[in-house]
Structure 1
Amino acid sequence: MRPTARLTGRPAAGRAGGGRAAARPSPDRWAAAVAFALVAAAVLAGAALGWAGRPVHAPAAPLFGHLLPHAGPGTPFAVIVAIAVVHRGALLAERLPWRRLLAGAWAASVAWTFALALVDGWHRGVAGRLTTPFEYLSAVPAVTGVRATLRGFTGHILLGAPDNWPTHVAGHPPGALLVFVALDRLGLRGGGWAGTVCVLAGCLATVAVAVTLRALGDERAARAALPFLVLFPGAVWVGVSADGLFTAVAASSLALLAVGLTGPRWWCAALGGAGLAGCAYVSYGLVLLVLPAVAVVVAARARHPAMLGWAAAGAVAVAGVVTGLGFAWWDGYRLVKVRYYQGLASSRPYAYWVWANLAALAVSAGPAAAPILRRAVAAVRGVRTPPVLLCLGAAAAVVAADLSGLSKAEVERIWLPFAVWLPAAAALLPGRGRRGWLCLQAATALLVNHLVLTAW
């Protein structure tokens, strides 16, 4: 597929109006300025509400954490990785053979994410993240068997229930807890192993997004996106949170679906469908992956429609097995909505968070996300390429999650499975300006990680 000038940001050869094309970054800068203003407004409004005695219950609103300027052993390594990717990332992405490129991108993502986490030190940044009383590891000793856990899971969701689950366990389907139980049973016990696995697996999302784009016929867009995926500011929360792991599972499932639909490969389609269904059993909000999945199906242009049947079969198989073992997703979802308002959510004002959530996303996705999204919206009226469809599918999922009222604060990590698809359309940015946007992406992650002690 040959991108048009409109989609790549480059003027077409011999086309009149090249001077006007050269001026196109101006609307991009305006889009970034609007995103910056949104973040600034969320910071000021959050502080003002706190001073007025109406706290929004996020100390560093719109982010969940504490304002604490600091540095650590990861600081010099994060700066080195950022400089290397900004200066050489785009060139390597253009020239390296595909498999070597994917391996290098994953390694660079791991280096970037670990370096950011280690700004807080090993224990505070990695090993201790998942060991608090609110996290999954605190509930691992209570699990005696998969069937028993699935059958009795809903009985421990509400705060008034006997032996109620810790906050994060109660707020998710049982699949999230069982992931960490599996690590424990494999001998990978404790917060150090759990944190390391979250980073190593979470960084696979970088590869999965690129694989999806290439499978849908746009390798050029995949190569353009990779440096942005490596320096994704959301890496601050991939290292370390379970949502980073969920992001990789979601992205890999969409990649398998894309490969299956275009291959055609029935087993990839089936695994993709199974993976997407599995995502609904690690986080209730990931049912919204149906919107990016529809984008994948549309981008695949129904080349092999029979593969959709295999994808559906994979999804039905997972849902059938989990339901048969004793966990009813709808019951869990009904009870988790009650538990949600038994905690901080009942005190967090919807009128603030319904727009401040988007400010948190603007930080997690980075300054480049605003012009990318602007260009994707403009391009959808013309040539609907895979990057445009994937970007807008993710954006639609974010809007649905935001309006639901079940995502008030902490979305900088909760929405990682959607935010990671915004850089997929980085090819829409003008080639001559991408290095500048990449600098801003890296600077955002470094600034946040050194000014805010994040909770994840």
Structure 2
Amino acid sequence: MKVLAPLRRGPELPARRVDADLVVLGVEVALVAAAVAVGLLLNARGVGLHADAAPLYASWRPHLGWGTPAALLVAAGVLGRGVRWARTAGWGRLLVAGYLAAVAWTMSLALVDGWSAGFTRRLTPQAEYLHEVPRVTDVTAMLAGFSARILDFQPDSWSTHTAGHPPGALLVFVGLDRIGLGGPTAAALACVLVGATVTVSVPVTLRALGAGQAARDVLPFLVLLPGAIWVGVSADGIFTGVVAAGLALLAVRALVAAAVGGLLLGFALYLSYGFVLVGVLALAVVALRPRDRWPVLLAALAGAGTVVATFTLAGFWWLDGYHLVVQRYHQGWAADRPYGYWVWANIAALLLCVGPVLGTALRRTALASAAPAWTVAMRWRGPDRAGMIALREAGPTVLLPLAAVLAVGAADLSGLSKAEVERIWLPFVVWLLVAAAHLPPPAQRFWLAGQVVTALAVSHLLWTVS
């Protein structure tokens, strides 16, 4: 596959394009402000948003914590030498440093709320998975009877998060308990450590697909992700790490790796019903491989099929669970939450999770890569195959964010993601950030600073602990 690097980005852009970036930023700020203002108004009128600080699932509570100075130190390190070092450091050292920095950033943001409230007790409420772990004495029986306990208002109904996901999510925490890592502290640490692996998986994917420089450019944005607030601590941190690792394994040049990647992505289907949309990203990764696409796809499908067969033979049929979850969804807050607000306010929540770089990065992605690649494709193959050739020529920094946009758009329009998307969409957020590779180097620190300001503002003005 030929990657058109000169079309990807450039440090020298006309002034009108720089101004356009600021216009996009202004639109983002206006959208978030409107979502907050309308949310305050609807909450004051008693509309059932069930989110005191809409569009985020949080409450207003300005505060400081032990994590405040630590977060400032991590941000200063990445913004200072980290950006330049990311362009020149040895690959292995860079990945290790990026991972450790992401863990430090995530832990710092969690500790703004305190060690207990912000970390060790985040997974202990009745709605969480840990509430159900002591009740699982027989895994086989649990899987066979899982669907019967999804609907609410029964004596043995699953708690909210357990009922709202396939049984794989509960199995993760049951598994931790069985190997001696039970309890809220170990579970919280697992969420952080697994969630931070996206700083390895996403760059590895990009490099394997021929975008090595883009991998270096994107890494600081993954480290200083505002969404780290919800990686630490929620089970969605683990989900994000699993999905990213599965996609990375599809990108590397080995059929065995593709099969393992398929196993992980197949298991992801049993972490969240919404991860059927990860298939869009998986197809994008396979399409971007320079060769062996069909063998890789078949190996991945074999791996995913093995997982599906295992759960099905154990007694859990995914489609039954999905249909029951839709019913359970409308037994709870979803019945009150107005679609007309959340269908656009979700995007404001997404911006607070990804950061202000999102709009500009996507704009530059479209302008710098998609249109020129289409022109090249038309010249080479003609209009009949121009679309597919254009996407391949544009490369992973276009196709992967585009796939993530499609997945998020489908989830949003479905009406099954009304609120709390700042954590639910984390597995797609990290692939949206790939678009940041199109930023010119002189602008990277500016937009990274915007990520930091967003994260610190949310973590210090709001109480995101459920």
Deviations 1:8-41 (A, max 9, x none): 2334xxxxxxxx5354222112112111111111
- 1:88 paired with 2:89, answer no
> How does 1:230-309 map onto structure 2 within 5 Å?
230-259=223-252, 263=253, 265-309=254-298
Whether the aligned pair in 2 keeps the contact of 1:106 and 1:203 (CA below 8 Å) is yes
- 1:198 paired with 2:191, answer yes
Partner of 1:390: 400
Partner of 2:447: 437
Whether the aligned pair in 2 keeps the contact of 1:25 and 1:430 (CA below 8 Å) is no
Whether the aligned pair in 2 keeps the contact of 1:198 and 1:242 (CA below 8 Å) is yes
CA distance in 2 between partners of 1:91 and 1:433 (Å): 13
- 1:381 paired with 2:371, answer yes
Q: Which moved more, 1:150-159 or 1:382-391?
A: 382-391
Partner of 2:338: 349
Structure 1 counterpart of 2:315, which letter?
G
Partner of 1:448: 458
**Aligned equivalent of 2:312, options 312, 318, 323:** 323
Shift of 1:137: 0.3
- 1:36 paired with 2:29, answer yes
Partner of 1:128: 121
Identical pairs, percent: 53
Deviations 1:132-181 (A, max 9, x none): 00000000011112211110001111113331000000000000001000
Q: Which moved more, 1:129-138 or 1:52-61?
A: 52-61
Partner of 2:410: 400
TM-score normalised by structure 2 residue count = 0.93
Whether the aligned pair in 1 keeps the contact of 2:43 and 2:52 (CA below 8 Å) is no
Structure 1 counterpart of 2:335, which letter?
S
Partner of 1:177: 170
RMSD value over aligned CA atoms? 1.3
Shift of 1:302: 4.1
CA distance in 1 between partners of 2:54 and 2:233 (Å): 20
Partner of 1:14: none
CA distance in 2 between partners of 1:302 and 1:308 (Å): 11
Shift of 1:353: 0.3
Whether the aligned pair in 2 keeps the contact of 1:46 and 1:55 (CA below 8 Å) is no
Partner of 2:421: 411
CA distance in 2 between partners of 1:440 and 1:418 (Å): 20
Give SS of 2:446's match: helix
Whether the aligned pair in 2 keeps the contact of 1:155 and 1:161 (CA below 8 Å) is no
Whether the aligned pair in 2 keeps the contact of 1:8 and 1:431 (CA below 8 Å) is no
CA distance in 2 between partners of 1:327 and 1:43 (Å): 41
CA distance in 1 between partners of 2:320 and 2:291 (Å): 35
Whether the aligned pair in 1 keeps the contact of 2:191 and 2:237 (CA below 8 Å) is yes
Give SS of 2:431's match: coil
Structure 1 counterpart of 2:284, which letter?
A
- 1:163 paired with 2:173, answer no
Shift of 1:2: 6.4
Partner of 1:8: 9
Whether the aligned pair in 1 keeps the contact of 2:286 and 2:293 (CA below 8 Å) is no
CA distance in 1 between partners of 2:18 and 2:136 (Å): 54
**Aligned equivalent of 1:107, options 100, 106, 110:** 100
Whether the aligned pair in 1 keeps the contact of 2:243 and 2:427 (CA below 8 Å) is yes
Partner of 1:17: none
Structure 2 counterpart of 1:444, which letter?
T
Give SS of 1:54's match: coil
Give SS of 1:380's match: helix
CA distance in 2 between partners of 1:375 and 1:293 (Å): 23
Deviations 1:210-244 (A, max 9, x none): 00000101110000000011001100110000001
CA distance in 2 between partners of 1:256 and 1:392 (Å): 20
Partner of 1:119: 112
CA distance in 2 between partners of 1:161 and 1:288 (Å): 31
Shift of 1:301: 4.0
Shift of 1:5: 4.1
> How does 1:328-339 map onto structure 2 within 5 Å?
328-339=317-328
Structure 2 counterpart of 1:255, which letter?
A
Shift of 1:409: 0.2
Partner of 2:380: none
- 1:367 paired with 2:369, answer no
Equivalent residue pairs, number = 444
Whether the aligned pair in 2 keeps the contact of 1:377 and 1:392 (CA below 8 Å) is no
Change beyond 3 A, Cα 1:389–1:2: closer
Shift of 1:304: 4.3
Shift of 1:205: 1.1
Give SS of 2:112's match: helix
Partner of 1:27: 20
Partner of 1:147: 140
Whether the aligned pair in 2 keeps the contact of 1:221 and 1:425 (CA below 8 Å) is no
CA distance in 1 between partners of 2:415 and 2:290 (Å): 34
CA distance in 2 between partners of 1:4 and 1:189 (Å): 48
Q: Which moved more, 1:182-191 or 1:370-379?
A: 370-379
Q: After TM superposition, where is structure 1 displaced by more than 6 Å over at least 4 residues in a row?
A: none
CA distance in 1 between partners of 2:339 and 2:15 (Å): 42
Structure 2 counterpart of 1:295, which letter?
A
TM-score normalised by structure 1 residue count = 0.95
CA distance in 2 between partners of 1:146 and 1:181 (Å): 9
Give SS of 1:305's match: helix
Whether the aligned pair in 1 keeps the contact of 2:202 and 2:431 (CA below 8 Å) is yes
Partner of 1:16: none
Shift of 1:293: 1.1
Whether the aligned pair in 1 keeps the contact of 2:117 and 2:465 (CA below 8 Å) is no
CA distance in 1 between partners of 2:299 and 2:48 (Å): 49
Partner of 2:387: none
Deviations 1:54-112 (A, max 9, x none): 24221000000110000110100000000110111211111111111101000000000
